[in-house]
Structure 1
Amino acid sequence: MEQKKLKSIIEAVLFTLGSAVEIKKLAEVAEVSVEEVNKAAAELEKKYEKEESGVMLIHLEDSLQLCTKTELYDYLVKVANAPRTYHLSDSVLETLSIVAYKQPVTRLQIEHIRGVSSSHAVDKLLEYNLIQELGRLDAPGRPILFGTTEEFLRVFGVQSLEELPRLNPEKVEDFREQAEFEALSESVDENKDEGSSENPIPVGI
């Protein structure tokens, strides 16, 4: 398929859906390879930058999305509802940071690190769609595991979790040891209540 046509297909799909679309799905729609989609997407990015277009193409992990440029916000709100704003308190930001760097992580593990109840912060982050449920930990009580979302990447302007600032190696090791201790504590607490002998799976960064 010609690159010009492929770029038109990508633009049409992204514009119509208005949300992030997996690159693999775009490849299926256009009946081309993932590599061809990535190449066409890179050319589209350059095109929008060169033409000083009002839209831009962004990568979100393994997906693509067309978005308006943030510098045009003041003009957009004159004709449309203002984009959703996030009121992130220090406690909510702290909770989000823990989830981002330790995911998948349970609510109890978050509270062990913060030293206080984090139910409100977790619920607020779920409401904002900045975190999501990833499943359950294979441990007594099967607590819910939380991780970040595509919306998190969008809001903080990164394409993937790999772009987050790296932690000091010593800090990473402290986090890992703490996670193992917290998971063990969960098991001990559950065993006291239920008499279970199962051991939890430690969750690291």
Structure 2
Amino acid sequence: MDIHKWKAIIEGLLFAAGDEGLSIKQISLVLELHADTVEDILTEMKKEYDQEDRGIRIIEIAGAYQLATKKEHAPYFKKLMENPSNNTLSQAALETLAIVAYKQPITRAEIEDIRGVKTDRPIQTLVGKLLIKEVGRVEGTGRAILYGTTKEFLDYFGLKSIEELPKLPEQTSDEFVQEEADLFFEKFAEAFEDLT
């Protein structure tokens, strides 16, 4: 396979990995390439991304490579986030936010276990809207990011502290849980829309 195809695959892998990033070892295992070869390709890609006409770059944090936006474009990202049309949250983002609010600190994997689906995009949205943030790392292998709510979350929902969240019901029949979840997310969405 030629180097352009390897670069395209690595780019896709980094995009899919999101803010978790990938180590050279992880990429080399997936591509079945020697680690030195992967490192050379990443070095070349970093140089290409550093060109003025590119909107993203490749960064390395704690041995993990990830895609990131360029700092000089920050004023445009700020305008995007302040745009009123971007103030609504999807159902997936609302569900993720509710899980983080009640179970914090919590990892992405734990959120996915609860929701039963991937949560990369909702987490990115919530971090971008400053409703959740990284509050630490899990000890041990992988050091997964722990997420928690922010001061902005409390401000949006008019809470003095996280303890003011409504208590979850203790009854746990599947039908009851589904009805309560639907009602909760409906109220959560209405509250968010009223505040934006």
Considering the TM-score relative to the shorter chain, is it more than 0.5? Answer: no
TM-score between both structures, scaled by the size of structure 1:
0.41
TM-score between both structures, scaled by the size of structure 2:
0.43
- Higher CA-based Rg: 1
Bigger helix fraction: 2
